Amino acid sequence: MSAGRALPDNSQRGLLLCGHGSRSPSAIAEFAELARAIEVGSGGYKAFAHGFLEFARPTLSEALDSLRARGVKAVDAIPGMLLAAGHAKNDIPALLRNYELGHGIEIRYGRPLGLDARMLAAAARRVREALGGEVEGFQSRYHETLLVVVGRGSSDPDANSEVSKLTRLLWETLGFGWAITAYSGVTFPLVAPALELAVRLGYRRILLFPYFLFSGILIDRIYAALDAAAERWREVEFVKARYLDCQDDVVETFLARAAEIEAGDGAMMNCALCKYRELVVGFEQEQGAAQASHHHHVEGIGVGQNGDAQAPDSASDHASAYATAGAHGHSHGHSHGNGHGHGHSHAPYPHAKHPLGPITLQTTKQVTKRVTKLVTKQVTKQVTKRLSELEATKPAKD
């Protein structure tokens, strides 16, 4: 995409909200509500549209066609993502760049929501709601509660670290007794082993907050893992916080991202620990990888004839592709239009066999078995070591 060149004035420019897409009808409806709020708040654009990377319609290409049909000569595109991971860094900008080259329309690309004061406020609001707000004795409730923040999970360690940062901010600003970060898939630890660890820390109340924008199959899995933990450890109170949804702070942050593009600040994405630009320990093979989309084969798939999303089908959840990273048999050569140039194939995730993850579709029973095996091994090692130490300190027999 273009950066720095003069663009037509606002009367010629459209705004595009780029969503991920879902097979969940509720998630698509929630995203549509967000899109309407952004359209109302944006103003100054000739037209507005939203589209999806996969599993729903309109696709991003169809949304861009719609903008062109309404006379738009240039587009500002903002990724409808929480964090800068593969979709925001690769899949969406690669698709937009291909469209730009193929249709002669200029596209400026902004950055995802990221983590700022507004997003922290939106997250804190959900957590406070789950604990009943600031009622009498509310501070002691935080002190007695362990917080588990669940992020989406990515093969990009920089994006995963942002979830950990959010966990620390919520822990410190609200005063939780303890806090743990977990992920729904791709990386580790997964939700089930994180909850087992949380229980072992001895807190009688555990609050789970999914740092997601909308509902969907992953939210269902996260809550199901919490329900399974509640059934297993009935002496512990487990509390579910709601995902972010279309809060005012979320809408305002999206509008701020659009304003950054208009002000010429659209390329403000933090690249200090980007595995594609920098030599990040453990991910060295991905430095210089090309910007490429791996979702063209599922673009628009999973929608009904009338455009409504079909019911979720876990067998087709693309997240499982990351568990066997490298399964793509193709590669693409491309360059970032926002300053990230590289030539790339889908690199394997280096921790695909980590004992606490990252196989997305494994069952709770499988996760529990793996965790129990790991813990038993560690405890046995510690006990053996201690017994050896005690044996060494015994007085010698005459």
Residue 328 is among the residues annotated as catalytic for this protein: no
Angle, nearest 10°, between helix axes 92-103 and 60-69? Answer: 40
Closest by CA position to 99, among listed 87, 86, 109, 111: 109
Tokens of 133: 């707000």
User: Is 190 within 8 Å of 182 (Cβ atoms)?
Assistant: yes
Tokens of 387: 């017994």
User: Is 250 within 8 Å of 113 (Cβ atoms)?
Assistant: yes
The pLDDT score that the predictor gives to residue 323 is 34
Catalytic residue among 20, 295, 334, 340: 20
The pLDDT score that the predictor gives to residue 387 is 74
Task: Provide the CB-side half-sphere exposure for 117 (13 A, CA).
Answer: 1
User: Is 168 within 8 Å of 107 (Cβ atoms)?
Assistant: no
The burial of 333, by beta-carbon neighbours within 10 Å (0-12 exposed, 13-18 middle, 19 or more buried), is given as exposed
User: Is 328 within 8 Å of 349 (Cβ atoms)?
Assistant: no
* Dist. CA 127–CA 239, nearest whole Å: 10
The pLDDT score that the predictor gives to residue 140 is 81
Location of structure tokens 């066997």 = 324
* Dist. CA 340–CA 3, nearest whole Å: 12
At 231, phi and psi to the nearest 5?
-70, -35
Domains and CATH numbers, the chain: 10-114+247-345 (3.40.50.1400), 118-240 (3.40.50.1400)
* Dist. CA 231–CA 376, nearest whole Å: 22
Ordered per-residue pLDDT tens for the chain, 398 residues: 544 444 445 779 999 999 999 999 999 999 999 999 999 999 889 999 999 999 999 999 999 999 999 999 999 999 999 998 888 988 999 999 999 999 999 999 999 999 999 999 999 999 999 998 765 556 789 999 999 999 999 999 999 999 999 999 999 999 999 999 999 999 999 999 999 999 999 999 999 999 999 999 999 999 999 999 999 999 999 999 999 999 999 999 999 999 999 888 645 656 655 655 565 565 566 676 665 655 554 565 655 434 454 444 433 344 333 333 333 333 333 334 444 443 444 577 677 777 777 654 455 555 556 656 665 666 677 777 777 777 777 676 65
Closest by CA position to 262, among listed 37, 79, 14, 51: 14
